[in-house]
Amino acid sequence: MIKILIVEDEKPISNLIRLSLTKEGYSCSCAYDGDEAADMLERERFDLVLLDVMLPEIDGFELMELIRPLEVPVMFITAKDAVADRVRGLRAGAEDYIVKPFEIVELLARIDVVLRRYRKNESVIEVGGLHIDVEAMQVRKDGAEVSLTKKEYDLLLLFAQNPHRALYRETIYERVWGGEYQYGSKTVDLHVQRLRKKVGWEDRLLAVNKVGYRLEA
């Protein structure tokens, strides 16, 4: 499961972000000042940090100095909207800079983009008993190569990069087929069924009622 650290001293905002991300299938932890965040980053590995700038103890820009060597993507979420602050945040190594107030749907979309960009940098993914060589577009199970069509491979990679996260059919279709999902279309379901059989994920690639599918890796 993708782990996100929310570093935000305003608890109502922190709770709103946490609840929204948890609903989307992310695992969230919260820190309410820079010092607490630094301690958590030393103890745990996170896939993404959502970082406020104006924090007690250690501010967000200072905290970036501690985060950068960890190679964890960071998104600033702050009320500091001056161009100079945005430039400073991005030059410090942040992947994105979001100004408060913001819409949750926009935050979710931006998180999705950042995580996809980072996951694309992985050359090998080990998930659900599969060895996926991303650069070679090659899939192996128990040492034997699994033959997949291009769409089946793209579908597999989407689930492999988002384990334990429920993906809507609309999202799956948009990512894999690059178009707008037509309600009632069976394209996603048919490809998922074929993929399940080919890679042996009958008990791993689960249907989520009225949503789509989730990979339990």
- Say whether both 48 and 107 belong to one domain: yes
Whether residue 207 has pLDDT greater than 70: yes
- Domain of residue 191 covers 124-215
Cα–Cα dist 100/118, whole Å: 24
Same domain, 35 and 103: yes
**CATH number for 85:** 3.40.50.2300
Asked whether residue 140 falls in the same domain as residue 96, the answer is: no
Same domain, yes or no, for 14 and 43? yes
Residues 43-54 pLDDT 10s: 998 989 999 998
Same domain as 133, residue 102: no
* Residue 182 and residue 101 share a domain: no
Give the end of a domain, one of 64, 95, 120: 120
pLDDT digits (tens, 9 = 90+) for 86-118: 888 888 888 999 998 889 989 998 998 888 777
Domains in the chain: how many in total? 2
What SS3 class is residue 186? coil
Whether the per-residue pLDDT at 190 is higher than 70: the answer is yes
pLDDT at 130 (0 to 100): 94
Indicate if 186 and 86 belong to the same structural domain: no
Average pLDDT over residues 173-202: 91
Instruction: List Cβ<8 Å contacts ≥24 apart for 20-24.
Output: 20/104, 20/107, 20/108, 21/108, 21/111, 24/108, 24/165, 24/166
Q: Say what the pLDDT of residue 122 is.
A: 67
Out of 85, 105, 120, pick the residue that ends a domain: 120
The per-residue b/e assignment along 13-32, b for 16 or more CB within 10 angstroms, e otherwise, is: bbeebbebbeebbbebebbb
At 69 the pLDDT is 86
Tens of pLDDT, residues 73-83:
999 998 887 88
The pLDDT of residue 40 is above 90: yes
Cβ-Cβ contacts under 8 Å for 136 (sequence gap 6 or more)? none
Q: What is the pLDDT of residues 11-32, one digit of tens each?
A: 999 999 999 998 887 889 999 9
Question: Sorting pLDDT into bands at 50, 70 and 90, what band is 68?
Answer: confident
So what's the pLDDT on residue 217? 77
Same structural domain for residues 28 and 74? yes
Q: Are residues 70 and 116 in the same domain?
A: yes
pLDDT at 86: 83
Instruction: Answer yes or no: do 115 and 8 share one domain.
Output: yes
Strands 138-141 vs 74-78: parallel, antiparallel or unpaired: unpaired
Residues 72 and 143 in one domain: no
Q: Angle, to 10 degrees, between the axis of helix 169-177 and the axis of helix 150-160?
A: 130
Q: What is the pLDDT of residue 120?
A: 58
Co-location of 10 and 91 in the same domain: yes
Instruction: Give the pLDDT confidence of 123-159 residue by residue, as tens digits.
Output: 788 899 999 998 788 999 999 999 999 999 999 999 9
Query: First-to-last CA distance in the chain?
Result: 9
Residue where a domain stops, chosen among 74, 99, 120: 120
Cis peptide upstream of residue 101 (ω within 30 degrees of 0): yes
pTM for the complete prediction? 0.64
